[in-house]
Copies of this chain bind each other. A is one copy, B any other.
């Protein structure tokens, strides 16, 4: 990766640690976990690459990177609780170590810090963008639960879910620096469009691997979504082809041995795996096309590379 992005990511870690400081020991502990865990820092990377494309200064893109990463971390903490996940990023999920009270409140504490960063940005329009982004993340999460409960399995709902879950925040990480730097409207729109398409490709690939991936590579059993009553792209493509057998499996949360294997078999038999791969490729293509408003540059190439990677990701 571009060495200047790596440098900025290093400074990002220092700033993140400062944001997570608290006088309350149990909050500090979760913050330290999160700051130490690292992760790919995909969202800050996107903010810095976008800053290069629109010529935003480092401090502005740093505020975006911090606000977006803290919102992401808060939603992971609130997610861990909800999903009853055992582990996240290789460690024990925070809430298991400190209890629900601490994980929900630590997530809220991070959201409070997001407010502070927005105050620092002094930008009502970026604050408004973050408001809409946060609302859509919540709506996506509840919509996923609602769809599983009411069995509303359709492409439109799925698109709303993956946009809320992943795409809107990636788009905001990219659009934020353009907004704060008052970049021309077509550039801002191009970055948002890239983020939404790349985000959909990313989440669709995650969901595809959840069902069709290699268990040894993934380090977890496949079919997790299915067991939680979540219909993702390959399964929706089956319904679309008139194959309704998985509906019953979703309903009883695939508790029978062999259920997941049966769905995988149907998916391959009816070419729903190929349709899912095509849909991912179409999104990646749209993401790359969005960047055509920018002249060639290392930052543009780096973003294109990220979108292209979704075509062949296996883990």
A residues near B (Cβ < 8 Å) are: 22-27, 74-75, 78, 81-82, 99-102, 104-106, 108-109, 111-116, 118-120, 122, 124-125, 127-128, 130-135, 137-139, 141-143, 145-146
Contact = CB atoms under 8 A, between A and B. Distances in A.
Given A112-B138, A134-B111, A26 B146 contact: yes
A119 B116 CA distance: 13
A116 B128 contact: yes
A82 B109 contact: no
B138 A27 contact: yes
B124 A112 contact: no
Contact of A135 (B25, B104, B113, B128): B113
Contacts of A122: 124
A138 B108 contact: yes
A127 to B, nearest CB: 4
Contact of A142 (B24, B75, B128, B142): B24
Contacts of A119: 124-125, 127-128, 131
B116 A131 contact: yes
B27 A101 contact: no
B134 A115 contact: yes
B81 A146 contact: no
9 contacts: A24-B146, A74-B108, A82-B101, A99-B145, A105-B142, A112-B138, A115-B128, A118-B127, A120-B128
Contact of A102 (B24, B130, B145): B145
Given A99-B145, A116-B132, A131-B112, A138 B106 contact: yes
A288 B92 CA distance: 49
A141 B105 CA distance: 7
Nearest 7 Cβ contacts at the A-B interface = A115-B131, A112-B134, A116-B131, A112-B135, A119-B128, A119-B127, A109-B138
A54 B265 CA distance: 70
Given A99-B145, A102-B145, A114-B115, 10 more contacts: A22-B135, A22-B139, A23-B139, A25-B146, A102-B142, A106-B138, A108-B137, A115-B115, A115-B127, A116-B135
Contacts of A132: 112, 116
A30 to B, nearest CB: 9
A108 B100 CA distance: 16
Contact of A139 (B24, B100, B135): B24
Nearest to A146: B26
Contacts of A101: 82, 141-142, 145
